[in-house]
Amino acid sequence: MDKQTGFMKALKCRECGREYPLAATHVCEFDFGPLEVAYDYDRIKASMTRSAIQSRSKNMWRYRELLPVAGEPTVGCEVGFTPLIKADRLAKRLGIRELWIKNDAVNYPTLSFKDRVVSVALSRAKELGFTTVACASTGNLANSVAANAASAGLKAYVFIPSDLELGKVLNSLVYGANVVGIKGHYDEVNRLCAEIAGKYNWAFVNVNMRPYYAEGSKSMGFEIIEQLGWKIPQHTIVPMASGSLLTKIHKSYQEMTKLGLVSDAEYSVHGAQPAGCSPISVAQKAGLDFFKPVKPNTIAKSLAIGTPADGFYALKVMKETGGAADDVTDDEIRDGIKLLAECEGIFTETAGGVTVGVAKKLIASGKIPANDSAVLCITGNGLKTLDALVGHVGHTREIRPSLREFEALIEAETKSPTAA
Amino acid sequence: MATKTKPNGKSEKNQPQSTRLWLMFPPKLITRPIVWELGQKFPLVTNVRQASVTDEIGLVSLELSGSRGDIKAAIKWMEKLGIKVEPVEINVIES
Ligand SMILES: Cc1ncc(COP(=O)(O)O)c(C=O)c1O
Ligand SMILES: [Zn+2]
């Protein structure tokens, strides 16, 4: 393995194919196309066998040849290998033969799939000599950067819109990150952060580190394959904000096939969005290659990106794999959260509610055939979006400390069981 | 670590810089020569890097070089016309 580059060959433009050195850059100088990491698959094939993988620790770094760091990872070494659960009760409710839940609601350390991308971005940032890392975020990404930077001894700047909920602010401040609230509307904040990223010599995880960062999402797909017994699922349903996770799940299936770690199989990757921010799913349903930007208005704030950077590529993946997309309303999102909790004992955030709700629609419409098998990507934890459920999950019934009152309550319940 | 930047924005106003932007044109503006107009109105160098135009939407990636103040004014002008202006690094804010 090369000390400087590991199994990586170069950064490569997704539009024109020009190659760039493995530095902290993310756009092609010629056409502004996004850069992506290119690997030396021949060398990877020699080193990455099923038995080699299985002999390694149970975290996302057991697939390290396909993750863009040169040496051993130094940040987020325990991230990943979250449970894949056979969800028989939910399968029955949704009307499908076989259903699995990939549960990143319990990803370590900050309870969302973002720990995967951040551990790669920060490990690579350290290799490139950065001592300060940064991001602009409204939630999960901020938490993950703040926490992983703290444990790695990196200085962190986290930019947030100034009107963010207190819970999310505290969730980043507690790790000692420098949290900067920016007054202004979304587009202005976006532009300022792009300027800051261009000006300061920091590792901005989703700007100049994006080619490395985005690759971290592949680990979710690698784990799904291994945990299914080295099989690619027939259907995978993925929530979409920028659309990056969906494209990387697809890439992970392709890479494992190319390396002979799994046999070639037909599969479809489906996308899920909230109706209040659905540029990608609306375009998919209309059969378009391009999306129209929208102004988000949804309780699924972690998916509220109106101009998705990877929307174009996500549409392409769905088209190529015969996947579909759909969107669900705020009420359907809450129903999805409750359904997953009641059937499987898993409490997901609003993004997970979107995934469950869309799965239900795609199965009902036959776009996912009832006789097939599917994996739902649950990407975040319900404890982070409690606000969305207040007033929607029933209420406690209070009694005085008297057995008589309790029995009256039970009796009322047996008479009308739905009241429970 | 902060690089050698001037602490106040004022003195930077006239320093030349380059900004990379994605422009999204609504249907009613697709046929208007916005980039030419921009070059006439502001002392900026425009450099189109990529473009795609359909009946529904026009997408143009544009590099603007000039003073920070002029770039800001040009962005304001385009936004007032109804063009969506994003940095090429779109989604700087993630969830
Ligand atoms: C919980 C959760 N799920 C899914 C996503 C979607 O990720 P992507 O931007 O890769 O489409 C996000 C991120 O923004 C998220 O926070
Ligand atoms: Zn290019």
Q: Give the tens place of pLDDT for each residue, A55-66.
A: 999 999 999 999
Mutate to test the interface with B, among A32, A193, A244, A298 (most CBs of B within 10 A): A32
Name every chain B residue with its beta carbon within 8 A of the beta carbon of A308. Answer: 91
pLDDT above 60: residue B7: no
Output the pLDDT for position B14: 64
Output the pLDDT for position A35: 96
Q: How far is CA A332 from CA A273, A337, A339, in A?
A: 12, 9, 10
Mean predicted confidence (pLDDT) in A104-131: 98
Compute the distance from residue A183 Cα to the ligand 2 centre, in Å: 34
**Assigned domain for B61 exists:** yes
Banded pLDDT at B13 (limits 50, 70, 90):
low
**Assigned domain for B24 exists:** no
| pTM for this entry | 0.92
pLDDT above 80: residue A418: no
Q: Do the strands A132-137 and B93-94 form a parallel or antiparallel pair, or are they unpaired? A: parallel
The domain that holds B42 is classified in CATH as 3.30.70.260
CA distance B41 to chain A (A): 22
Output the pLDDT for position A2: 60
CA distance B45 to chain A (A): 16
Mean predicted confidence (pLDDT) in B8-32: 77
Mean predicted confidence (pLDDT) in A84-91: 98
Output the pLDDT for position B56: 77
Output the pLDDT for position A139: 87
The CATH 3.40.50.1100 portion of chain A extends over 40-68+114-211, 84-110+217-389
Output the pLDDT for position A3: 66
Compute the distance from residue A368 Cα to the ligand 2 centre, in Å: 36
Q: Nearest residue of A to residue B57 by CA position? A: A292
**Assigned domain for B51 exists:** yes
pLDDT above 50: residue B11: no
**Assigned domain for B2 exists:** no
Mean predicted confidence (pLDDT) in A215-227: 98
Print the domain residue range for B48: 30-87
pLDDT above 90: residue B57: no
* CB under 5 Å of ion ligand 2: residues: A 13, 15-16, 18, 28, 30-31, 33
| Averaged pLDDT of chain B | 83
CA distance B37 to chain A (A): 22
A199 and B5 within 8 Å at the Cβ level: the answer is yes
Mean predicted confidence (pLDDT) in A333-361: 98
**A84: contact with B, CB 8 A cutoff:** no
pLDDT above 80: residue A419: no
pLDDT tens per residue, range A7-49? 999 999 999 999 999 999 999 999 899 999 999 999 999 999 9
Separation CA A96–CA A235 (nearest Å): 11
Which contacts of A353-356 are long-range, i.e. CB under 8 A and separated by 24 or more positions? A353/A300, A353/A328, A353/A388, A354/A239, A354/A272, A354/A273, A354/A274, A354/A300, A354/A303, A354/A327, A354/A328, A355/A237, A355/A238, A355/A239, A355/A272, A355/A379, A356/A90
Phi, psi torsion values for A59, nearest 5 degrees:
-150, 175
pLDDT tens per residue, range A238-249? 999 999 999 999
Q: Say whether domain A40-68+114-211 belongs to CATH 3.40.50.1100.
A: yes
Mean predicted confidence (pLDDT) in A151-163: 93
Burial B22-41 (b: 16+ CB within 10 A, else e): bbbbeeeeeeeebbeebeee
Compute the distance from residue A413 Cα to the ligand 1 centre, in Å: 40
Question: Going by CA atoms, what residue is nearest to atom 9 of ligand 1?
Answer: A242
Topology, domain A84-110+217-389:
Rossmann fold (3.40.50)
Mean predicted confidence (pLDDT) in A318-334: 98
Mean predicted confidence (pLDDT) in B21-32: 90
Alpha helix positions (H), A95-243: 114-127, 140-152, 166-173, 186-199, 210-215, 218-227
Output the pLDDT for position B94: 86
pLDDT tens per residue, range A227-280? 999 999 999 999 999 999 999 999 999 999 999 999 999 999 999 999 999 999
Output the pLDDT for position B9: 39
**Assigned domain for B94 exists:** no
For chain B, what is the domain count?
1
On the CB side of A179, how many CA atoms lie within 13 Å of its CA?
A: 26
Banded pLDDT at B10 (limits 50, 70, 90):
very low
Q: Do the strands A268-274 and A325-328 form a parallel or antiparallel pair, or are they unpaired? A: parallel
Q: Which B-chain residues 8-67 have CB contacts (< 8 A) with chain A?
A: 19-20, 22, 24, 49-50, 52, 54, 56-57, 59, 61
**Assigned domain for B77 exists:** yes
Q: Nearest residue of B to residue A240 by CA position? A: B95
Compute the distance from residue A406 Cα to the ligand 1 centre, in Å: 44
A33 and B50 within 8 Å at the Cβ level: the answer is yes
**Assigned domain for B6 exists:** no
Mean predicted confidence (pLDDT) in A184-208: 87
The single residue listed with the structure tokens 């039970």 is: A410
- Distance, CA of A95 to chain centre: 25
**Assigned domain for B63 exists:** yes
Lowest mean per-residue pLDDT among A49-63, A171-185, A378-392, B48-62? B48-62
Output the pLDDT for position B59: 87
